Amino acid sequence: MTLSRRTFAQAALGTAITAALPFAPAARAHEGRHPLVIAHRGASGERPEHTLMGYRLAIEEGCDFIEPDLVVTKDGELVVRHENEISGTTDVASRPEFAGRRTSKTVDGEAIEGWFAEDFTLAELKTLRARERLPELRPQSAAFDGREAIPTFQEVIDLAKAESRRVGRTIGVYPEMKHPTFLAMAGLPIEGRLADALRRNGVDSPRAPVIVQCFEVAPLKTFATLSSVTRVQLVAAESGPADRAGTLYADMITPDGLKEIATYAHGLGPDWSLVLPRTPDGGLGAPTSLVADAHAAGLAVHPWTVRAENQFLPPRLRRGEGPAEHGDVEAVFRALYAAGVDGVFSDFPALAVKARG
């Protein structure tokens, strides 16, 4: 029997959770299945992002996958940070012993000044402490500053396995390769390191509860030659992949572009505004054709990132006073689920689970 492209994508994305989770393959959410809840950097609306405490809280709140963003240390270890520039999420700027590491670099065409993970050994990074990236918006999370170190990818895998045993359901891991082209130019390619880590942990297979994502194209294609785990192509509402000058993400989400993505990935991770555009009066518009187009190409759809604060919501969904107040984020979740998405990234997994019902 020959599998259609769509059926193959369903099988590849679904076997990561089949039998372990109380719902069927993720790629079949548009056929009445439950969409995945992906804890974006952990429960990062409530705890400092990419901390073990944040991942544990997200699991308690019912998420299906936890998301670690991966960068590489000077000595080649995979560690979990949203960016390779670490001053926004650690106390490195207050450490006099590392004052001389401050530098400027051009990362994906952007000039950035600060401290970079690839300039530190793992042992040095482990002396730092994590802190809230958005303390003005999330003061309750900032109260947990300084309590934890930067986790390694291995520690996140170990946590997912231990928590799966504890809660009696499989907790998946959804790593993102950050700035792979930049890291390769720095002599620290990430693709092989990630594939090796998955192999060492016995989760390098289409059935593993692992989904690998990336905004760049060539690194994701390279990774596909190194590992058989599920892969998702990320796309933003603007610009294009750092490794493809002249290519826009808008070009990649046309029906033809989606067919091309389906040759090397099993899913699409779009900015959620590409699924639910804003209306001129600041509300939520009717869904675009993106979910249907992606499904037609055999791709699951996992939009990112739904946040509860007014600052991140359309004007008509804002409530209360100020950007830090929580608005009607449930309306966003419900509209995305109604549009047929197969999963959703959120900083507030408890709210995503509640809206999923």
Catalytic residues: 40, 82
What is the token pair recorded at 158? 């170990």
Measured CA to CA, the distance from residue 332 to residue 223 in angstroms comes to 33
- Tell me the residue ranges of DSSP E strands in the chain: 36-39, 65-66, 69-72, 78-80, 103-107, 110-114, 172-173, 176-177, 211-214, 230-235, 267-270, 300-301, 343-346
Strand partners, 3: none
Question: CB-based contacts of 43: which residues, under 8 Å, 6+ apart?
Answer: 54, 55, 57, 58, 61, 63, 347, 348, 349, 350
Distance of CA 103 to the CA centre of its chain: 27
Tell me how far CA of residue 147 lies from CA of 53, 106, 150, 257, 344, in angstroms. 9, 31, 10, 44, 28
